[in-house]
């Protein structure tokens, strides 16, 4: 019986493949920046509404976030979608680096494919629930602004994940694997210094330079680097350095991003940088203030979810690349920098036989645990509230650098759609299991409670 239903799900996913491809193409074309995803969110919302989903508001004051729900009662299974693009990453649907529109945004993180696959999975699961008359609720989370790590944080602030039992998501990548490792927590802070302006030639002794304070803060911070855990890092950019060299700047600002394996580790760095800012202000006789920019939690893997996803990925197998996809992939792959290819192959233990036309042939066997992911994601915030399962599916050629034109090109040209079609199947199959296997859901939730070991999620935005 279950086998027949699984086969039904796979068949429905095959008939939904054109919808997924069309959604990927539409979102790719819209290429909207964080919190500006008006057309992208309206597109997804429209299809879900037309298919019988109830549309509910997302985070307060964030019109590009929304929830679409189907069914009633428990369990409540979440499907998490993203759809924002990156600034300056415009690229033609061509295997040659050529912006479509200079300086315009582009889907260099593949969130067009991400949103499209989650849409496809929601439609398939809904049909399956209707046919089987299954109890329970599926909830499509329309999450904006992942790139600025705030969409899901804002939705968390408004407690939108509280009544959800477990959630699934995925991310396009060059390798197909299950997320079984942590990502890092992040905090972004701006430090603004206020000094006294003066003519830099006539009477500089009357000036107190806010830019000097920024520079001294950065010097102090660079000395701090030696004395923080190797798993932590921070980076900064000067966002205001004054207007002209002949005037002592009375205002200057630096923006820091701090990353670490836990929120506590990041908070420690924030406090130490605060002391450095205070010291810089003292040295320059300026005033300083700090303002919070953004922050997110580390991703907490759930191994019961990981096992479920790995099983489903093995059932689905590699994306079904078309001959056109392969031609495109060969041309794209020929431009991958050797260093990137070598690094990826060595981290995932890939040999020559594991790739064809620059595309991975299968699913990474086992759990990739290669250290902590250096990047951050606001999916981490969700994973501290409810169990979350996530995986990556190959949607570009191996070695594609993250946030690069390779992703924009691949996702616009069919590779992304093929990854999304495979991912939709895994999401739908896993979603079905969570909806119908109460023991599995209990195991997943028990593991989550154990992993928290009494810690509580404290939303970085209040
Ligand atoms: Zn991304």
| DSSP single-letter state for residue 332 | H
Interaxial angle between packed helices 405-412 and 323-333, expressed in degrees from 0 to 180 and rounded to the nearest 10: 170
154 and 266 inside one domain: no
191 and 175 inside one domain: no
What is the Å distance from ligand 1's center to 69 Cα?
24
Secondary element (H or E) of residue 271: helix 263-284
What is the Å distance from ligand 1's center to 212 Cα?
36
148 and 79 inside one domain: yes
Burial of 235 (0-12, 13-18, 19+ CB in 10 A): exposed
Of 249, 277, 296, the one marking the end of a domain is 296
Q: Is residue 24 within 8 Å of 131, Cβ to Cβ?
A: no
> Which ranges of 373-414 would DSSP assign to H, the alpha helix?
379-383, 405-412
Q: Provide the 3-class DSSP secondary structure of residue 67.
A: strand
pLDDT of residue 163: 97
Please name which of 54, 15, 53, 23 lies closest in space to residue 41, comparing C-alpha atoms: 23
Question: What residues contact residue 222 under an 8 Å CB cut-off, 6+ apart?
Answer: none
What is the Å distance from ligand 1's center to 170 Cα?
10
What is the Å distance from ligand 1's center to 111 Cα?
6
What is the Å distance from ligand 1's center to 441 Cα?
27
Q: What is the CATH number of the domain that holds 327?
A: 3.40.630.10
What is the Å distance from ligand 1's center to 453 Cα?
29
What is the Å distance from ligand 1's center to 195 Cα?
39
Q: What is the CATH number of the domain that holds 201?
A: 3.30.70.360
212 and 333 inside one domain: no
360 and 381 inside one domain: yes
What is the Å distance from ligand 1's center to 171 Cα?
7
Q: Is residue 73 within 8 Å of 189, Cβ to Cβ?
A: no
Q: Is residue 299 within 8 Å of 379, Cβ to Cβ?
A: yes
Residue 459 lies in a domain: no
Q: Provide the 3-class DSSP secondary structure of residue 89.
A: coil
**Cα(51)–Cα(55) distance, integer angstroms:** 11
Ranges under pLDDT 70 in the chain: 370-374
What is the Å distance from ligand 1's center to 452 Cα?
25
Please name which of 407, 386, 405 lies closest in space to residue 397, comparing C-alpha atoms: 407
Q: Is residue 434 within 8 Å of 307, Cβ to Cβ?
A: no
What is the Å distance from ligand 1's center to 5 Cα?
32
324 and 248 inside one domain: no
Which residues are near ligand 1, the ion (C-beta closer than 5 Å)? 109
What is the Å distance from ligand 1's center to 334 Cα?
24
What is the Å distance from ligand 1's center to 245 Cα?
39
pLDDT of residue 370: 66
pLDDT tens-digit map of 148-207: 999 999 999 999 999 999 999 999 999 999 999 888 999 999 999 999 999 999 999 999
How many other β-carbons are positioned within 10 Å of the β-carbon of residue 271? 9
What is the Å distance from ligand 1's center to 286 Cα?
39
pLDDT of residue 375: 77
Location of structure tokens 């119908």: 436
| DSSP single-letter state for residue 163 | T
What is the Å distance from ligand 1's center to 136 Cα?
29
* CA within 13 Å, CB half, 396: 33
19 and 138 inside one domain: yes
**Cα(157)–Cα(133) distance, integer angstroms:** 34
Q: Provide the 3-class DSSP secondary structure of residue 68.
A: strand
**Cα(405)–Cα(108) distance, integer angstroms:** 6
What is the Å distance from ligand 1's center to 76 Cα?
25
Residue 457 lies in a domain: no
What is the Å distance from ligand 1's center to 110 Cα?
7
What is the Å distance from ligand 1's center to 256 Cα?
21
Residue 407 lies in a domain: yes
Residue 194 lies in a domain: yes
What is the Å distance from ligand 1's center to 444 Cα?
25
145 and 190 inside one domain: no
What is the Å distance from ligand 1's center to 208 Cα?
42
**Cα(278)–Cα(287) distance, integer angstroms:** 8
pLDDT of residue 218: 98
What is the Å distance from ligand 1's center to 433 Cα?
26
Question: What residues contact residue 372 under an 8 Å CB cut-off, 6+ apart?
Answer: 181, 182, 183, 184, 231, 261, 298
What is the Å distance from ligand 1's center to 85 Cα?
9
What is the Å distance from ligand 1's center to 173 Cα?
9
Q: Is residue 411 within 8 Å of 188, Cβ to Cβ?
A: no
81 and 102 inside one domain: yes
Residue 235 lies in a domain: yes
What is the Å distance from ligand 1's center to 9 Cα?
27
What is the Å distance from ligand 1's center to 108 Cα?
8
268 and 236 inside one domain: yes
Q: Is residue 363 within 8 Å of 170, Cβ to Cβ?
A: no
What is the Å distance from ligand 1's center to 392 Cα?
11
Residue 461 lies in a domain: no
What is the Å distance from ligand 1's center to 28 Cα?
14
Location of structure tokens 């939303």: 459
Q: Is residue 121 within 8 Å of 427, Cβ to Cβ?
A: yes
257 and 312 inside one domain: no
**Cα(252)–Cα(268) distance, integer angstroms:** 24
What is the Å distance from ligand 1's center to 109 Cα?
5
How many other β-carbons are positioned within 10 Å of the β-carbon of residue 57? 12
Of 296, 311, 331, the one marking the end of a domain is 296
What domain range is 228 assigned to?
A: 185-296
What is the Å distance from ligand 1's center to 144 Cα?
11
pLDDT tens-digit map of 377-434: 999 999 999 999 999 999 999 999 999 999 999 999 999 999 999 999 999 999 999 9
Secondary element (H or E) of residue 136: strand 136-143
What is the Å distance from ligand 1's center to 114 Cα?
8
What is the Å distance from ligand 1's center to 366 Cα?
23
Residue 91 lies in a domain: yes
Residue 412 lies in a domain: yes
What is the Å distance from ligand 1's center to 367 Cα?
20
Secondary element (H or E) of residue 140: strand 136-143
Which tokens sit at 186? Answer: 């992040």
Number of domains in the chain: 2
168 and 55 inside one domain: yes
Burial of 274 (0-12, 13-18, 19+ CB in 10 A): middle
What is the Å distance from ligand 1's center to 391 Cα?
12
What is the Å distance from ligand 1's center to 135 Cα?
33
What is the Å distance from ligand 1's center to 287 Cα?
38
Omega cis (within 30) before 344 = no
Of 272, 296, 320, the one marking the end of a domain is 296
């Amino acid at each position: 019986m279950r086998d027949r239903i699984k086969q039904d799900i796979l068949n429905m996913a095959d008939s939904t493949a054109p919808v997924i491809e069309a959604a990927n193409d539409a979102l790719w074309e819209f290429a909207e920046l964080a919190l500006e995803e008006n057309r992208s969110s309206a597109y997804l919302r429209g299809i879900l509404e037309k298919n019988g989903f109830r549309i509910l508001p997302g985070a307060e004051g964030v019109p590009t976030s929304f929830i679409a729900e189907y069914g009633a009662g428990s369990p409540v299974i979440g499907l998490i979608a993203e759809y924002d693009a990156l600034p300056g990453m415009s690229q033609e649907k061509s295997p040659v680096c050529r912006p479509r529109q200079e300086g315009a945004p582009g889907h260099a993180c593949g969130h067009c494919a991400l949103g499209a696959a989650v849409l496809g999975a929601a439609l398939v699961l809904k049909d399956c629930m209707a046919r089987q008359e299954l109890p329970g609720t599926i909830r499509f989370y329309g999450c904006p602004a992942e790139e600025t790590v705030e969409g899901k944080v804002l939705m968390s602030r408004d407690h939108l994940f509280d009544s959800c039992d477990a959630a699934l998501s995925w991310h396009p990548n060059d390798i197909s694997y299950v997320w079984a490792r942590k990502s890092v927590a992040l905090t972004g802070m701006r430090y603004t210094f206020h000094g006294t302006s003066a003519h830099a030639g006539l009477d500089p002794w009357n000036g107190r330079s806010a830019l000097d304070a920024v520079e001294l803060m950065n010097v102090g911070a660079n000395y701090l680097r030696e004395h923080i855990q190797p798993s932590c890092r921070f980076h900064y950019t000067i966002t205001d350095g004054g207007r002209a060299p002949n005037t002592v700047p009375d205002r200057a600002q630096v923006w820091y991003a701090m990353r670490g394996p836990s929120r506590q580790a990041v908070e420690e760095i924030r406090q130490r940088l605060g002391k450095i800012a205070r010291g810089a202000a003292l040295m320059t006789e300026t005033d300083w203030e700090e303002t919070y920019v953004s922050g997110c939690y580390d991703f907490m893997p759930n191994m019961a979810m990981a096992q479920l996803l790995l099983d489903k990925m093995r059932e689905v197998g590699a994306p079904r690349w078309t001959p056109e996809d392969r031609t495109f992939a060969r041309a794209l792959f020929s431009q991958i920098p050797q260093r990137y290819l070598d690094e990826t192959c060595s981290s995932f233990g890939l040999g020559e036989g594991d790739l064809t036309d620059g595309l991975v042939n299968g699913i990474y066997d086992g759990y990739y645990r290669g250290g902590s992911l250096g990047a951050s994601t606001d999916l981490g915030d969700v994973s501290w509230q409810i169990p979350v399962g996530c995986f990556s599916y190959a949607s570009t050629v191996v070695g594609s650098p993250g946030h690069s034109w390779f992703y924009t090109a691949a996702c616009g040209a069919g590779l992304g759609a093929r990854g999304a079609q495979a991912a939709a199947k895994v999401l739908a199959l896993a979603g079905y299991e969570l909806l119908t296997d109460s023991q599995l859901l209990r195991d997943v939730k028990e593991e989550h409670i154990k992993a928290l070991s009494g810690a509580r999620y404290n939303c970085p935005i209040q």
